[in-house]
């Protein structure tokens, strides 16, 4: 069996000689990689082996960009949903707290009315006054706010008029509160009960509204009758 790397050649004189070709890829002396025998030393690799596959890389880059955009949109949507959820939870929690305060304070309104009446009659003194002041401080800390005072404009959404009066008053308001019979209370934007008041109505020019006088009735001369 002959070695494919060994072959015979004839010289110009007609003599036959054996030529041995060393096809080892690694030079046993220098340890460097040898160029193939059928390829000249220093030749550049074939174009089809070194040229980047531009089309495949472009498709891969486009797919990667689409995936990044999709993940970014998902992240933004989840972030917005979470923000809305937190706002909804905070709003519901605040509504529950306000509802609890309203329910607790509503049961104390009659006690506050008794304190107002005792103060009006001069009976809110001594230890009784100290207890009353502490109770008022507690309900005010819970957000309770009293409203209704003499002279303020009448508002049917927060005032309950039980009596109307006609008198001369000053100011641009047509209807004002003249007497507060029972104070009103609210917490935040919730009106626990309206203020029971007496109102004074007046004309737009600042004077009390008076009923219009009827025109006098005169009898015609009998001679003029038909």
How far is the CA of 165 from the CAs of 179, 202, 212, in angstroms?
A: 10, 9, 17
Domains (range + CATH), the chain:
145-210 (2.30.22.10)
Between 93-97, 123-127, 177-181, 188-192, the lowest mean confidence (pLDDT) is in 177-181
| 114/167: higher pLDDT | 114
Measured CA to CA, the distance from residue 15 to residue 8 in angstroms comes to: 10
pLDDT band (50, 70, 90) for residue 83? very high
Mean pLDDT, all residues of the chain: 76
Which of 143, 183, 190 minimizes the C-alpha distance to 160? 183
Measured CA to CA, the distance from residue 123 to residue 93 in angstroms comes to: 41
Please state, for a pLDDT cut of 90, what percent of the chain lies above it.
Answer: 28
Measured CA to CA, the distance from residue 24 to residue 187 in angstroms comes to: 96
Residue 8 is predicted with a pLDDT of: 58
């Amino acid at each position: 069996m002959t070695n494919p790397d060994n072959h015979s050649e004839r010289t110009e004189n007609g003599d036959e000689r054996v030529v041995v070709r060393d096809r080892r890829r690694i030079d046993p002396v220098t340890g460097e990689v040898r160029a193939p025998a059928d390829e000249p030393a220093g030749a550049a690799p074939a174009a089809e082996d070194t040229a980047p596959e531009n089309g495949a890389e472009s498709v891969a880059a486009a797919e990667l960009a689409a995936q990044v955009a999709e993940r970014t949109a998902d992240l933004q949507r989840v972030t917005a949903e979470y923000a809305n959820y937190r706002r909804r939870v905070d709003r519901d929690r605040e509504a529950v707290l306000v509802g609890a305060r309203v329910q607790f304070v509503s049961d104390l309104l009659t006690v506050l009315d008794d304190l107002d009446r005792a103060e009006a009659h001069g009976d809110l003194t001594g230890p009784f006054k100290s207890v009353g002041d502490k109770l008022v401080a507690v309900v005010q800390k819970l957000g309770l706010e009293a409203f209704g005072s003499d002279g303020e404009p009448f508002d049917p959404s927060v005032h309950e008029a039980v009596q109307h009066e006609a008198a001369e008053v000053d100011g641009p308001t047509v209807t004002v509160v003249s007497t507060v019979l029972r104070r009103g209370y609210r917490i935040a934007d919730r009106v626990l009960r309206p203020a029971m008041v007496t109102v004074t109505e007046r004309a737009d020019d600042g004077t009390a509204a008076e009923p219009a006088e009827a025109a006098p009735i005169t009898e015609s001369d009998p001679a003029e009758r038909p």
